[in-house]
A = this chain, B = another copy of it.
Amino acid sequence: MQTSAGQTAGVGRPKVSSRQLIEDAAAELFIENTYVGTTIDQITTRAGVSRATFFNYFGAKSDLLWFEVDRANDSLRAACAAASATGSLESIRDVILELAAGFDERRVPLALTQTEVMGAADEIVQSGLVRIATQASVFADFLSARGARHRDDLLVRTAANALAGAVAAAWITWARDGIGRSPLEGYVAESVDVIFPGIRAAFESVARGNTF
């Protein structure tokens, strides 16, 4: 018997959620049979859940390549929205580094480490690029509020794209460095700090009334 909180009644370890079961089943099957060679039905069968449950959590098979990144982007969006109310430009850097520091390092996205055995390189690349674009859009929302510029302005778009590209570079390099790698936060700090001083200077210049 279960409580409504999803815990097994009485003592014992927390119940594994359906979502987690689906993620774990997909990860196993992608490694065993490649991404292309795995169907949604195989995933739901191994996870012991219905197709309806699958589509409660995921919109497409490719979402299972990126769930760790999608969760990180959800956290990023929430943190940016919170920082946006009161934050300075600098707070975007803080938010990015805090997110990296809080990332569960045991759950590296499969798509970043197992590309060779997954098959479907094009689909993996495309679905990954969409996540980078999502992150750029979150940054653009935050940055446009800093300078009261429209989010499509050139400086906002440049800074958002460059930051998203830098963060992606850090995640990819970190994932591929393999077992024994140092923490993600260090990679992200190195990458972001190549470009962040230039972004800060450009926003400060605009704030002083210079045209960009």
Q: Is A157 an interface residue (CB 8 A)?
A: yes
The yes or no answer to A195 lying at the interface (CB within 8 A) is yes
Please indicate which of the listed interface residues A125, A132, A169 has the most CB atoms of chain B within 10 Å of its own CB: A169
Partner of A158, one of B152, B170, B176, B197: B170
**A78 within 8 A of partner (CB):** no
Q: How far is the CA of A166 from the CA of B168 in the complex (A)?
A: 14
* Copies of chain A in the complex: 2
Does A27 lie at the interface of the complex (its beta carbon under 8 Å from any beta carbon of B)?
A: no
Q: In this assembly, does A26 line the interface, its C-beta being within 8 Å of a C-beta of chain B? A: no
Q: Chain B residue with minimal CB distance to A203? A: B194
Are A190 and B154 in contact, with the CB atoms below 8 A? Answer: yes
A158 & B154 in contact (Cβ 8 Å cutoff): no
Q: In the assembly, what is the distance between CA of A169 and CA of B176, in Å?
A: 28
Are the CB atoms of A199 and B195 closer together than 8 Å?
Answer: yes
Could you pull out 29 A-B pairs where Cβ atoms are within 8 angstroms?
A: A125-B130, A125-B133, A126-B126, A129-B132, A152-B173, A152-B176, A153-B173, A154-B173, A154-B187, A154-B190, A155-B190, A157-B173, A158-B166, A158-B169, A158-B170, A158-B194, A160-B165, A160-B169, A161-B162, A161-B165, A161-B166, A161-B169, A162-B166, A162-B195, A164-B165, A165-B165, A194-B199, A196-B198, A198-B198
> Which residues of A pack against B, CB within 8 Å?
125-126, 129-130, 132-133, 136, 152-155, 157-162, 164-166, 168-170, 172-173, 176, 187, 190-191, 194-199, 202, 212
